[in-house]
Amino acid sequence: MRYRLLSALIISAVAVVEAAPAAAATYDYIVVGSGPGGGPLAADLARAGYSTLLIEAGGDEGDNPTYSEIAYFNEAANDEATRWDFWVKHYDDPEEDRKFAHTTWDTGDGTFYVGLDPPEGAKYLGIQYPRAAVLGGCAMHNAAVCSLPAEDDWNIIVNKTGDTSWSASNMRQYLKKIERNQYLPPGDPNRGYDGWLATSVGPTDWARNNSNPATTILKKLAALTGQDETRAADLLGSDILTEIPNLDETSSFYNLAQHADNTGKRNSPNNYVRATLADPAKYPLTLKLHTLVTRVLFDESTVGVEGVEPRAIGVEIMEGQSLYKADPKHRGQTSPKSQILAAREVIVSGGAFNSPQILKLSGIGPKDELAKFNIPLVKHLPGVGENLGDNYEGSLLAMGQTPVQSGLITAVFRTPNAPDARRNIFTWCGAFSFEGFWPGFPTWHGAEQYTCALVHMQPKSQAGSVTLRSADPQDVPDINFRFFQNQGDQDLEELVEGANILREAMNAVPEPVAPFIERHPCEGDRRAEGDCGVEVQKEYFKSQAYSHHATSTCAIGGKDEEMAVLDSKFRVHGVRGLRVVDASAFPVVPGAFPSCPTMMISVKAAEDIIAERKKEEAEAKKL
């Protein structure tokens, strides 16, 4: 397959921006990145009365229907207006990566080649991992699925740091604080109805129709996951954001919740930041778009001094569009660097790839890696860029004899040989295809396509890394997920168990849809011929797994943990005036979907920072 590589729009002469003179600090706080990590935090700091500068590499597409209408999420993730292409590795061994059916190559004639048989002379790029550089970050091109981590995913932070504010029971208040629930009857004391993040759900009534072929799949899946099949349609209406005892051990259907309102409009930090800017109260928030932060600045007199913790005092920036080389519109644009100072703190929220890159470019990271690129060391922190984790994802795709007209089946369930009592697979099934990411994804296989997509919720490896390729801030770092490196066999087995359960459910489908002809993992009749056992399917998931929820590259951890980057208040260990608040902070992958959890920690961080500030102000008054 060939896809358009470059936009038809040729960017004319590169604008050179005059360097602004370094001035005295005009802001208390500088927040770098406006995604789920940075956006809500910047808005909340400003709403508390503190002057805050929010810097975002991309522009604002909040009024562009491709982004504001949730139905177009695939178009949004493909859109050159905001796309940053990271060409990632899944394995150290390039041969392993080249088994991925959607590896991508640059043909040199302005097109991508996607597949296993590239034309002569094509340059290998890797596996596409899209990110959104735009006000609102990846919450502007994602599918907006909103779900919460397992309780242990929060509680592990309490264990590591002793900070009980991270307990699962305490963290729930942050969902309540931001949520504007549009689907429950009003009055649930545990839920929010007037926050800035609309949550809504889709229709499930189709499942009450017993003649609908998908209803048979639903009932079979109920039986296979220990649910009451006679109540399957009711169970499908279960609220995925609710709190019940033993939730993490309960296999259940759910109605997929999204951070969108019930008219289909996407909701994200974009809305909250723009509402904060437009508010008649004139909160002291300044938004600087199309600006790439190239490093954090430190007070030189605090660097390299025995017994003194280096203090962050601002950021260095480049102004202009498409400066980062992950931007498909990048054509060698550059601009002079200038500086902006923060009186109080710099908060880095560039996401799981860019936050560790920014830290390393600023001299915070593994000392050998920094020395290799002549980056002056500010603080040796070997964990920066390590511990990269992500949900393993894969899918069962089959073609029916006729289209399956139905809504979604969403379920979270435990596979029989999972290592503990917790559920491990999140799935959603429907008449769509989802096979990962590549330029131009997804493939339309025809109206008869039916997919059950799987998300492994507790990937055990987290052996990935984000490492510098150079000291050039416009360069894209090297990203290697090292899928399945630790306890991979166990995770692969769990994926196969999940796939086997879902296949059995799918194959219960009646005529006229039946029989389903499977495309993958078990192509055609392989299974009938006894040729698609556990090992064959494990090999399938090993080579074809994909991911798009990267986290944990600047992980919170205890003081004695060598690989910890942040303390429980998001402060970078060993320096002052610097925090990281985004998906990089989670020590373990937070459940099946990180978007809502990241917004929750963003408002938690704002609360922490404001509380510290108020305490200082009270103490200053006493003196």
Q: Is 513 annotated as a binding residue?
A: no
Q: Which listed option, ligand NAG, ligand FAD, none, makes contact with residue 155 (CB within 5 to 8 Å by class)?
A: ligand NAG
Sites of contact with ligand NAG (CB under 6 A): 152, 155-156, 159, 209, 211-212, 405
Number of residues that bind ligand FAD (CB under 6 A): 41
Per-residue contact flags (x/-) with ligand FAD for residues 594 to 623, judged by CB under 6 A: xxx-x-------------------------
Candidates 14-22, 27-35, 197-205, 391-399: pick the segment binding ligand FAD (CB under 6 A). Answer: 27-35
**C-beta closer to ligand FAD: residue 36 or 363:** 36
Q: Does 350 bind ligand FAD (CB under 6 A)?
A: yes
Position with the least CB separation from ligand FAD: 35
Query: Residue 412: enclosing H or E segment and its boundaries?
Result: strand 409-413
**C-beta closer to ligand FAD: residue 313 or 358:** 358
Q: Which amino acid is at 19?
A: A
| Whether the bond into 442 is cis, omega within 30 of 0 | yes
| Residue 159 CB, nearest approach to ligand NAG (Å) | 4
Residue from the set 41, 114, 144, 326 that interacts with ligand FAD by CB under 6 A: 144
- Is 68 exposed, middle or buried (CB count within 10 Å of its CB: 0-12, 13-18, 19+)? buried
Distance of alpha carbon 130 from the chain centroid: 10
Residue from the set 33, 356, 430, 439 that interacts with ligand FAD by CB under 6 A: 33
**C-beta closer to ligand NAG: residue 205 or 616:** 205
Pairing outcome for strands 285-288 and 52-55: parallel
The rounded distance, in Å, linking the Cα atoms of 119 and 613 is 59
What is the sign, positive or negative, of the torsion defined by CA atoms of 275, 278, 281, 284? positive
| Residue 497 CB, nearest approach to ligand FAD (Å) | 24
Phi, psi of 249 (to 5 degrees): -105, 5
**C-beta closer to ligand NAG: residue 203 or 533:** 203
Q: Is 88 annotated as a binding residue?
A: no
Q: Does 326 bind ligand FAD (CB under 6 A)?
A: no
The rounded distance, in Å, linking the Cα atoms of 157 and 274 is 32
The rounded distance, in Å, linking the Cα atoms of 377 and 357 is 14
The rounded distance, in Å, linking the Cα atoms of 365 and 386 is 10
**C-beta closer to ligand NAG: residue 65 or 419:** 419
Count of beta carbons in the 10 Å neighbourhood of residue 468: 23
Q: Which listed option, ligand FAD, ligand NAG, none, makes contact with residue 595 (CB within 5 to 8 Å by class)?
A: ligand FAD
| Whether the bond into 65 is cis, omega within 30 of 0 | no
| Residue 423 CB, nearest approach to ligand FAD (Å) | 17
Residue from the set 31, 138, 218, 412 that interacts with ligand FAD by CB under 6 A: 138
Q: Give helix 151-161 / helix 168-178 axis angle, nearest 10°.
A: 120
The rounded distance, in Å, linking the Cα atoms of 296 and 315 is 4
Q: Is 145 annotated as a binding residue?
A: yes
Q: Does 32 bind ligand FAD (CB under 6 A)?
A: yes
Exposed e or buried b per residue across 472-483, where buried means at least 16 C-beta atoms within 10 angstroms of its C-beta: ebbebbbbbbbb
Q: Is 134 annotated as a binding residue?
A: yes
The count of residues in the chain is 623
Q: Does 35 bind ligand FAD (CB under 6 A)?
A: yes
**C-beta closer to ligand FAD: residue 133 or 168:** 133
Helix (H, G, I), strand (E, B) or coil at 59: strand
Q: Is 293 annotated as a binding residue?
A: yes
| Residue 157 CB, nearest approach to ligand NAG (Å) | 9
Residue from the set 29, 36, 363, 365 that interacts with ligand FAD by CB under 6 A: 36
| Residue 406 CB, nearest approach to ligand NAG (Å) | 8
The rounded distance, in Å, linking the Cα atoms of 495 and 371 is 41
Q: Does 587 bind ligand FAD (CB under 6 A)?
A: no
The rounded distance, in Å, linking the Cα atoms of 612 and 45 is 12
Nearest to 276 by CA among 525, 51, 509: 51
**C-beta closer to ligand FAD: residue 32 or 347:** 32
SS3 content of the chain, % helix, strand, coil (to 5): 30, 25, 50
Q: Does 578 bind ligand FAD (CB under 6 A)?
A: no
**Using CA atoms in the order 533, 534, 540, 545, what is the torsion angle rounded to 10 degrees?**
150
**C-beta closer to ligand NAG: residue 404 or 554:** 404
Q: Is 417 annotated as a binding residue?
A: no
The rounded distance, in Å, linking the Cα atoms of 56 and 296 is 15
Residue from the set 150, 235, 240, 292 that interacts with ligand FAD by CB under 6 A: 292
Write out the residues near ligand FAD by the rule CB under 6 A: 32-38, 55-58, 77, 130-131, 133-134, 137-139, 141-145, 292-293, 349-352, 354, 358, 548-549, 582-583, 593-596, 598
Summarize the annotated binding site for FAD as residue ranges: 134, 142-145, 293
Summarize the annotated binding site as residue ranges: 134, 142-145, 293
